[in-house]
Chains A and B, each alone.
Chain A
Amino acid sequence: AQKITQTQPGMFVQEKEAVTLDCTYDTSDPSYGLFWYKQPSSGEMIFLIYQGSYDQQNATEGRYSLNFQKARKSANLVISASQLGDSAMYFCAMREGPGNAGNMLTFGGGTRLMVKP
């Protein structure tokens, strides 16, 4: 079974509107964390936001927030007030196990977001 699933290969959003990118995950480990990374056309991976499995509050970082629904095993990224520079690939990733377990990341297949002016 896929550990990280991103069901939206591509999405359009109007500039200044909010958009939600979906991510579901599968793990039996009680200690895990979810990441979102942005990959512009240049190729580098830019860290956006992190949510730990034991965190009580949903993570927020500026215009980015993570809608963490543990029972549904979903960790959707919400981008508010979209900007043209938000056009990129977005990847959801997961680490499993305690902090000293290597912290290897498993990535989803990504969602291409296109912001329309």
Chain B
Amino acid sequence: DGGITQSPKYLFRKEGQNVTLSCEQNLNHDAMYWYRQDPGQGLRLIYYSQIVNDFQKGDIAEGYSVSREKKESFPLTVTSAQKNPTAFYLCASRDRSTYEQYFGPGTRLTVT
């Protein structure tokens, strides 16, 4: 079964701790994306990667970091520098031949 997995679905952390969100895809897609969604709002782009070992900042990259060492994996680290990390985080991927982005189930991060 091809798709995108994000784990865990719910994540709780104390303020001041870094936390890494997992995103794995077995769709053989080149491009991968991280979005953040706050309650009652649309998605905003954090980072994206078009190929392995390359990634670009999106609209709200401050306080986040990513890596793309493998085609299948695009982990997102929420650092202690992110002022308001509590949000719903969605990962997506895209085949280079289409425009459609496929989304994972998301991770809901709560920082207290």
Interface residues in chain A, defined as those with a beta carbon under 8 Å from any beta carbon in chain B = 4, 33, 35, 37, 42-47, 50, 52, 91, 93, 95, 99, 102-110
Distance of A105 Cα from B37 Cα, bound (Å) = 13
Q: How far is the CB of B16 from chain A (nearest CB, A)?
A: 27
Inter-chain contact B43/A107, CB cutoff 8 Å: yes
Inter-chain contact A47/B101, CB cutoff 8 Å: yes
Inter-chain contact A103/B101, CB cutoff 8 Å: yes
Residues from chain A with a CB closer than 8 A to the CB of B99 are 33, 35, 50, 52, 95, 99, 103
Interface residues of B, count at CB 8 A:
27
Inter-chain contact B100/A43, CB cutoff 8 Å: no
Inter-chain contact B88/A109, CB cutoff 8 Å: no
Q: How far is the CB of A48 from chain B (nearest CB, A)?
A: 10
Closest to A47 in B: B100
Closest to B106 in A: A43
Residues from chain B with a CB closer than 8 A to the CB of A42 are 105
Inter-chain contact B44/A102, CB cutoff 8 Å: no
Question: How many interface contacts (CB-CB < 8 Å) are there between A and B?
Answer: 62
- Asked whether B28 is an interface residue with its Cβ less than 8 Å from the other chain, the reply is no
Q: How far is the CB of B46 from chain A (nearest CB, A)?
A: 11
Closest to A107 in B: B42
Residues from chain A with a CB closer than 8 A to the CB of B90 are 43, 45
Residues from chain A with a CB closer than 8 A to the CB of B79 are none
- Asked whether B58 is an interface residue with its Cβ less than 8 Å from the other chain, the reply is yes
Residues from chain A with a CB closer than 8 A to the CB of B102 are 47
- Asked whether B108 is an interface residue with its Cβ less than 8 Å from the other chain, the reply is yes
* Nearest 3 Cβ contacts at the A-B interface: A107-B42, A45-B103, A107-B43
- Scan residues 25-43 of chain B and give those whose CB is less than 8 A from a CB of chain A: 31, 33, 35, 40-43
Check A107/B44 contact, CB under 8 A, given A33-B99, A102-B50: yes
Distance of A37 Cα from B50 Cα, bound (Å) = 22
Inter-chain contact A103/B104, CB cutoff 8 Å: no
Q: How far is the CB of A37 from chain B (nearest CB, A)?
A: 8
Check A105/B101 contact, CB under 8 A, given A43-B88, A110-B42: yes
Inter-chain contact B105/A43, CB cutoff 8 Å: yes
Q: How far is the CB of B67 from chain A (nearest CB, A)?
A: 18
